[in-house]
Amino acid sequence: MDALRHHTIREQSHRILDPFTDEQLATLGRALRLPPGATLLDLACGKGELLCTWARDHGTVGTGVDLNPAFVAAARERAAELGVDVTFVEGDAGGYVVTPPVDVAACVGATWIGGGLLGTLDLLARSLTPGGIALVGEPFWRCDPPEAARAIGDFRTLPGLVAAVQDAGWDVVEMVLADEDSWDRYVAAQWLNLRRFLDEHPDDELAPAFREELSTAPLDYVTNQRPYLGWGVLALMRRP
């Protein structure tokens, strides 16, 4: 299956490719107290909403990197729409390091690019100025899930997530967490995207997989994901 095309279709109506609402993303930007001219790097940036809206709201500048051509095109259109000083690079974010170093380096919801949370933090640190802030977005278990829910992934609890980054030498200096409503807006909106695609392209090579997903995903989500799985962004500063 063409994974990039799969994600492009499923998330075609989304600007934020994580379970954050516009307000939650804005809350995170305000919480960091970024001065005008602060420099940002966003790895696996998706459609660039973080970089674009923070540039609009706080006068920051930055670079986003993503492998998906459709997402990069959407990010560039968004930057042009808002008239902001943001650059987007189409390429593999894994191993991407920027010079000169930046004030904020982010990987929000794609820590697989560094082989997991701690590997991604090491990658982000290579682009950070001393005293800079790393942002990581990660799922976590809100409570002990049933075995069926564990099939979603091997996640830490929120205390386990915080302990892991602290043990790796980082201070947690801020956080903003998703909630059930913002999960709904991210996940449930994909079902309508799938249905409309199936109606318009019933013979597409992806149609069987999308039909299967639409037939099973809503019940699985409300049973095994919505009650148990959290997600949030941690803001971290490396200890001196």
**pLDDT tens figures, 106-139:** 999 999 999 999 999 999 999 999 999 999 999 9
Domain 3-139+154-234 of CATH type 3.30.70.20: no
**Hey, where are the domains in the chain?**
3-139+154-234
Residue 108 near residue 233, CB atoms below 8 Å: yes
Residues contacting 65, CB < 8 A, separation 6+: 41, 42, 43, 44, 45, 88, 89, 91, 92, 93, 96
Q: Strand 128-141 relative to strand 39-43: parallel, antiparallel, unpaired?
A: unpaired
Rg (CA), the chain: 18
Task: Return the pLDDT at 3.
Answer: 84
pTM flag (> 0.85): yes
The one-letter amino acid at 166: Q
Q: What share of the chain in percent tops pLDDT 70? A: 100
